[in-house]
Amino acid sequence: MAKKQKIKPAEIIQQTEEPKVAGMPEVQIPKPPFTIYDFKVQAIIISLLALIFYFNSFFNEFAHDDGIVIIKNEYVQEGFAGIPKILSRDAYDSYYRQLNTINQLSGGRYRPLSIVTFAMEQQFLGATSADHIDSVLKQNISYGVRGDQEHKLVSDMHVRHILNVLWYIASLIVLLYFLRYIIFKNYPLMAFIAAIIFTIHPIHTEVVANVKSRDEIMSLLFMCLTFIFAFKYEENKKDIKMLIASLGCYFLAFLSKEYAITMVALLPLSLYLFRNYSIKKSLIAVIPFLGVIAVYLAIRFQIVSPMGENSETEVLNNPYVFASYAEKLATEISTSLNYLKLLLFPHPLSADYSYNSIPYKDFSNLSVWLSIIVYGGLFAAMIALFKKRNVLCFAIAFYFLHLALVCNIFFDIGATMGERLIYHSSVGFAIAIAYFLIKGAEKIKPAVAGQRALLAFMAIIIVLSGFKTITRNAEWKNDSTLFAADINVVPNSVLVNANVAASYITIADLQSDMKVKNDYLYKAIGLLNHALIIHPKFVAAFLNRGIAWYKLDSIDKAKPNFDSVKALYPTYPTLPGMYKLIGDFYMKKGWNSYGKYGKYPEAVAEFKKGIAIDSANAELWYNMGGALFSNKQLADAIAAWQIALKLKPDYERAQQGMQAAMTALKDPNVPESAKVRHENF
């Protein structure tokens, strides 16, 4: 008996035809209508898994960056009318304008396509009219109790979450086709396993449950379509429509997110590995795509503005601002390994890894060298596998090229790391894991035992991943639930501490029991104190701590916090409102504690405190005039009301007070002391 020839993995991948048996007629053997190898069956299973895993996200509200990209983005709120502005501005332009600043992130962000979909949705959900946009932008969303507009925004987000899952499912189906058609052309089971691993991986919860991250989904979707149409064109050069479709999808991939640049290397690599092209022919095939890159970069450079002054010295925009070059590089190398660890074991998860959740490291740290060894070994394996045209070469390259864009070693991205940032790289991970699982199962004899082992392993992984994904989706319900969970994972994150504190302040407003209310406020202050120890110049922490002290009626502690905001960020948009709160506090205290009891000099003293803080408060000046009038200081009252009218010309009550004071001045019985100005206003 002739020895059976062993087929190498690379050969299995490259096989393009089914073997023919000599002497047998070439007849079409009907295939069963539904088998696990059928694309439609696999697509249905993948879709059902995604739907089951992410169904509970339908009931989520908005969290993390949903607020600045969707809820408070006036271009999105305008519906169709806002689309031209979205296409012609930085992704965070609306947010920056509301903060009275400009681009704060290195390189800017031009990725308008997902934001355009948000505006389109808003049009059908009910675009916000122009005269109401400001109120939408300025509102603070509270948890549990909402007004009509706030209820609508939450209701809209339920719809957006459903659509996000549908986008995810669409991208999974395209990914499955990409894997079957290009990567595992004659190995549909391996393609299916890879697609399942990608679908169920819990690290993708941030991308799916955080609607803002639709840009990641759309980017991968259009990149896969670019591959598919490009390969179809290579199969039939006469079908120019396939080339046009590929170039069009490539441009849409760029408009989704900058990751599309990796296809300059991945497309020729895939042609070399999976279609046996020479290196030269592979590189020639990518030439038309260079034109798309040129067009995108020309648009991007015209739209994205340079970073604002002092942006690079803000640790929340540049997490390595306090690190030496050696510490920066060592920390970046070490942090890169965190991505691989989370792909292998996705627990615990966090929405934020900002300063100082990942402490600086130096080259004496073991994790730095472990990362160098692991990634060095993978890189060496990729080079060796390239010569063998092995599928694992593509898997490693797909992982590495996308990791290179987000690891900070080559490009500063304004953050240490983020789970959404490994979304594209996880495709390479899924390909490699599927490859090893199938090959491992093939080693088990008899074959049925290997199949059962593979089935059991996949069942366990699906159940565990489902549990983690579904519970994590629930944590993504809103900022309050999200950051309350994440503070246990990254207790030293400045942003997480500040966000939990902000939610406590909001929750405090909903409490009727004063003790419970004050407990929440003191907890918030404690978290903000911790945040300010980590980052002593954190503006938002000063602002929220001032608000918490204000709500505790500790004005003497609130004002210094607002003063710190003013010193660090003089144009902070809500700062005038904060000072007005203090002015209003003294106004209420002046009347409630003194004025209504006839203690007018004491009331005037309180009003003066308020005016010293908020001199543009017409109400304060009006009440000052009233107290002075009641204290028979007519000239002083008139002077106060004149300022009130200067600030608010149509202030009817101030006009009436002025008339009463002028009439009283003409009364011969009024003492001369009342007619003399005693205060220099």
Q: What is the DSSP string of 474-533?
A: HHTSSHHHHHHHHTTT-TT-HHHHHHHHHHHHHHHHT-SSHHHHHHHHHHHHHHHHHHHH
pLDDT number for residue 26: 42
pLDDT number for residue 151: 81
The share of the chain scoring above pLDDT 70, in percent, equals 89
Q: What is the dihedral of CA 69, 72, 73, 74, to 10 degrees?
A: 170
Q: How many CB atoms lie within 10 A of CB 409?
A: 14
pLDDT number for residue 104: 64
Q: Which of 56, 66, 156, 152 is nearest to 499 (CA)?
A: 66
Distance in angstroms (rounded) separating the CA atoms of residues 249 and 372:
36
**Contact of 200 with 462, CB cutoff 8 Å:** yes
Distance in angstroms (rounded) separating the CA atoms of residues 567 and 243:
57
Distance in angstroms (rounded) separating the CA atoms of residues 647 and 207:
49
Assess whether pLDDT exceeds 90 at residue 10.
no
The H or E element containing residue 449 is helix 447-475
Q: How many CB atoms lie within 10 A of CB 616?
A: 15
Q: How many CB atoms lie within 10 A of CB 59?
A: 13
What digits encode the pLDDT tens for the residues 337-364? 999 999 999 999 999 999 999 999 999 9
Average pLDDT over every residue of 630-634: 87
Q: How many CB atoms lie within 10 A of CB 249?
A: 23
* CATH code of the region 580-675: 1.25.40.10
Average pLDDT over every residue of 521-546: 96
The distance of Cα 327 from the centroid of its chain, to the nearest Å, equals 27
Assess whether pLDDT exceeds 50 at residue 145.
no
Distance in angstroms (rounded) separating the CA atoms of residues 175 and 62:
27
What digits encode the pLDDT tens for the residues 76-116? 999 999 999 999 998 888 888 877 777 666 667 899 999 99
**Contact of 476 with 60, CB cutoff 8 Å:** yes
Contact residues for 2 (Cβ-Cβ < 8 A; gap 6+): none
Average pLDDT over every residue of 613-625: 91
Average pLDDT over every residue of 412-434: 96
Contact residues for 281 (Cβ-Cβ < 8 A; gap 6+): 271
pLDDT number for residue 9: 42
Q: Which of 50-59, 72-81, 136-145 has the highest mean pLDDT?
A: 50-59
Assess whether pLDDT exceeds 60 at residue 137.
no
Q: Residue 472: CA atoms inside 13 Å, Cβ hemisphere, count?
A: 28
Distance in angstroms (rounded) separating the CA atoms of residues 106 and 405:
13
Place of tokens 């004659």: 186
On average, the pLDDT of the chain sits at: 89
What digits encode the pLDDT tens for the residues 244-268? 999 999 999 999 999 999 999 999 9
Q: Phi then psi for 319, rounded to 5 degrees?
A: -65, -10
Query: Environment class of residue 365 by beta-carbon count within 10 Å: exposed (0-12), middle (13-18) or buried (19+)?
Result: middle
Give the C-alpha distances (Å, rounded to integers) separating 637 from 625, 629, 647.
4, 5, 16
pLDDT number for residue 678: 66
Distance in angstroms (rounded) separating the CA atoms of residues 62 and 154:
7
pLDDT number for residue 276: 95
Domains 494-573 and 580-675 share a fold: yes
Q: How confident is the model at residue 530 (pLDDT cuts 50, 70, 90)?
A: very high
Q: Phi then psi for 28, rounded to 5 degrees?
A: -85, 115
Query: Any idea which of 55-59, 140-144, 158-162, 288-292 has the lowest mean pLDDT?
Result: 140-144
Q: Residue 241: CA atoms inside 13 Å, Cβ hemisphere, count?
A: 1
The domain ranges of the chain are 59-303, 311-346+357-472, 494-573, 580-675
Assess whether pLDDT exceeds 80 at residue 19.
no
pLDDT number for residue 72: 87
Place of tokens 């540049």: 318
Distance in angstroms (rounded) separating the CA atoms of residues 340 and 184:
23
Q: Sign of the CA dihedral 518, 520, 526, 528?
A: negative
**Contact of 625 with 641, CB cutoff 8 Å:** yes
Q: How confident is the model at residue 33 (pLDDT cuts 50, 70, 90)?
A: low
Average pLDDT over every residue of 454-478: 97
pLDDT number for residue 106: 66
Q: Phi then psi for 101, rounded to 5 degrees?
A: -145, -175
Q: Which of 172, 199, 182 is nearest to 433 (CA)?
A: 199
What digits encode the pLDDT tens for the residues 647-665? 999 999 989 888 888 888 7
The distance of Cα 532 from the centroid of its chain, to the nearest Å, equals 23
For domain 494-573, give its CATH number from 1.25.40.10, 2.40.70.10, 3.40.50.720, 3.90.1150.10: 1.25.40.10
Q: Which of 591, 220, 614 is nearest to 425 (CA)?
A: 220
Contact residues for 528 (Cβ-Cβ < 8 A; gap 6+): 497, 498, 501, 541, 544, 545, 548
Contact residues for 627 (Cβ-Cβ < 8 A; gap 6+): 590, 595, 600, 603, 604, 607
**Contact of 74 with 94, CB cutoff 8 Å:** yes
Average pLDDT over every residue of 145-154: 70
Average pLDDT over every residue of 552-581: 91
Query: Environment class of residue 102 by beta-carbon count within 10 Å: exposed (0-12), middle (13-18) or buried (19+)?
Result: middle
User: Higher-confidence residue: 542 or 98?
Assistant: 542
pLDDT number for residue 21: 32
Query: Any idea which of 1-10, 25-34, 529-538 has the lowest mean pLDDT?
Result: 1-10
**Contact of 49 with 156, CB cutoff 8 Å:** no
Assess whether pLDDT exceeds 70 at residue 612.
yes
Query: Any idea which of 170-174, 291-295, 634-638 has the lowest mean pLDDT?
Result: 634-638
Q: Which of 187, 169, 185, 164 is nearest to 227 (CA)?
A: 185
The H or E element containing residue 344 is helix 325-344
Average pLDDT over every residue of 33-39: 85
| DSSP assignment string, 41-93 | HHHHHHHHHHHHHHGGGGG----TTHIIIIIT-HHHHTGGGGHHHHHTS-TTH
Distance in angstroms (rounded) separating the CA atoms of residues 476 and 482:
5
Token code pair at residue 412: 């500063």
Q: Characterize 644-671 residue by residue with b for buried, 16 or more Cβ atoms within 10 angstroms of its Cβ, and e for exposed.
A: bbebbeebeebeebbeebeebeeeeeee
Q: Which of 4-8, 146-150, 179-183 has the highest mean pLDDT?
A: 179-183
Q: Sign of the CA dihedral 23, 28, 34, 38?
A: positive
Distance in angstroms (rounded) separating the CA atoms of residues 465 and 171:
19
User: Higher-confidence residue: 130 or 207?
Assistant: 207
Token code pair at residue 110: 């031009």
